[in-house]
Structure 1
Amino acid sequence: MLVIKDAKIYTSANKIYEKGTIVIENGKITQVGEEVTISENAKVIDAKGLVVTAGIIDAHSHIGGFGRTMEEQDLNEMTNHSTPEIESYYGIDFTSPMFTRAYTAGITTSALAPGSGNVVGGLVCAVKSYGKNMDDMCIENPIALKMALGGNPKGVYGKRNQMPMTRMGIAQVIRENFLKAQEYMKKQEQAKDDNTKKPPYNQGLENVARVLRREIPIKVHCEQFDMLTTLKIAEEFNVKFTLDHAWGSSDFYDEISSAKNLVGVIFGPAGVYLTPGECGKVDIECLIELNKRGVLCSIMTDGPILNPDVIIQQAGELVRFGASEEIAINMLTINPAKIIGQSHRIGSIEVGKDADIVIFKGIPTLDTNAKVVTTIINGEVVYQ
């Protein structure tokens, strides 16, 4: 039994304890509150004067697949504009020191996605920051299918004089993937149990079919008016989606907040891109208004584009613009947990959930000098 005693606890479950205690057993949270029962042989962490949150969740990252400074490209299979058949799971080096940097910064889970070189990049998985191997660290695969609009795929394939050179081409590539998968599913349904009539097995179309069956969302790299393309295509095919990066969202509050298939907005990174065009409006304050309108919002690092510790600083910008520290903390914890479909396990400090917990000196998002003191993953102290 591990006990965190007498901390200020932001549960991310609509409750803040000013002097609360958390009891952890077998990797799970078994008690949380101001009056709990503690075993005599429990290991106790005295957290008086400290602040506790659920483990931070980075809902869009590439750590383990791009090296430390993008020198590797194991998450960008840029040989075809559409590679829905591949999985980020197999491109991740679980021994990468970026995972250590993540958990020392309080990030306990990351959604690890293929890069944005292709229009359709492949499947995304959710991975804990600490473990023996990928089987141990991965908590679900897949959680989404990665797609990308705008300058990234244009920059890759335009230079080769191949489709897509334009935004027109990108939109059509996405539509063609859905149309082919629809036809594939139709033939499978018509064949029923007659294997001789079924279409040849196609892993890529199987993965796109998961999206069409609304089992997983598309995770779409898009900014500025490219977001409207995502909204339109998602409505046409009735698929769930997330808006990733989402710079310029303040220009499209009505459109984004009324999109029926939107799972959430994963904003960022802020403070790294300030270039003309689609990267020219990094308006993180838009999350305050989107949150008021009921949109599920979270913050990303796009690691290793930004180092893991910067995720808290980005959330602090929201507080500077007028959000409460609790709302900002939720955008690091329970909101991304819901967006990546893992809120039944992670994202808040509640009985029965994984004991992924961070202890801070100072209030994260509010105190500019707040520091991670301890990180706990699956009930194990991994950093102190």
Structure 2
Amino acid sequence: MKRLSHYKEFVSESEISRIYRKGTELSKYHILHINSSYYGGGIAEILRNMVPLLNEIGVEVGWRAMVGSPDFFRVCKRFHNSLLGEGIDLTEMKKKVYEGTNEDFSRFTHVDHDLVIVHNHQPLPLIRFLQKRQPWIWRCHEDLSTPNQEVLDYLKSFIIPFDKCVFQTGKCIFSDFQKECSFVNPTIDPLSTKNEYLDDNKIKKYLNRIGIDLSRPIVSQVSEFDKHKDPIGALEVFKQINEEMDCQFILIGSVSRYDPEGESIYGQVREKVKEMENVSLVLDPHDIFINSVQSASDVVLQKSLKEGFGLAVSEALWKETPVVGSDVGGIAMQIVDGENGYLVDPGDYDEAAEKIMDILSDDDLRERMGRRGKEIIKDRFLITHQIEKWLDIWREML
């Protein structure tokens, strides 16, 4: 079992000691996280790594995931897309499915905790159906820079009773009504299978399985098969690179069973890959394979059109791999343009291809960016930083 003390390789002993002390102050409280699933996506990954460590330092922290029908998750996906700016027909039936599922979940979910954290929009209505006896926090992971106002206004009716909102970028979206806001960066766990150090032999073992030649340059992208991650655009960028220089592209993705659009997007990607050379498409690999690809890559691409945060960026930078990413959402928090990679216009394939080729063509630049990337993640985006920020918020509220 991982313990906080195991992280002294990455953070100072004084920081670890401080976190233990803060945890002891909260040892009499019971805290609950609620999200939409135990697996798939960055939220589940963060909670899966963070909750055991919080318990180890003395804070009783639980985690529950929503139970819902395919109709519920289809409606939630529509809401997700609309919060990213798409249009929607916000019918009474959609509201009924959304609110009704939360009401049903509340009937077999007993919440007698001292504080409740609700992640994203899926469980928002629970606060209406569970008798509120304690502070509630809404933790928003989504990019709300250009939301559909009708849906946002509808969701605000559930957000109003919350005691605090926690965002991951330094901007509170609720300027039209009083709401206390805090900001917590998502983070990676350097001791997880996906981020631990791998030696060259292990990396070679996994990449040999898909026929990758380690003597040739490698570009990769890791993301869900979601239109907002733009895997088709990533392929178009690589197509331009492949016309100019010898290179290989590894496109890794997953299809969440909670995302009704995922299979369709994956099908489109698979058909396009058939028309291309030097592209390896990998569906739902295990974490050690993702680690191997990010470690072996010369450049990682994050070609998102919208992005809440993008943990894959921090994962790659931790492995000293420069990242060329779209200048959207949380990607811009992780990439310092020209230092550990480049930020590009999400719609400009030419710019993305040019920046990737600049890095591939310059060994010194690539190594310098790689070193700086790891420094930035160590300073800002490791799991210990997020744990301490949450402890500080909870100490204020309890």
Both proteins in one fold, TM over 0.5:
no
In terms of fraction of residues, the more helix-rich structure is: 2
| More contact order relative to length (CA 8 Å, sep ≥ 6) | 1
Q: TM-score by structure 2 length?
A: 0.29
In terms of fraction of residues, the more strand-rich structure is: 1
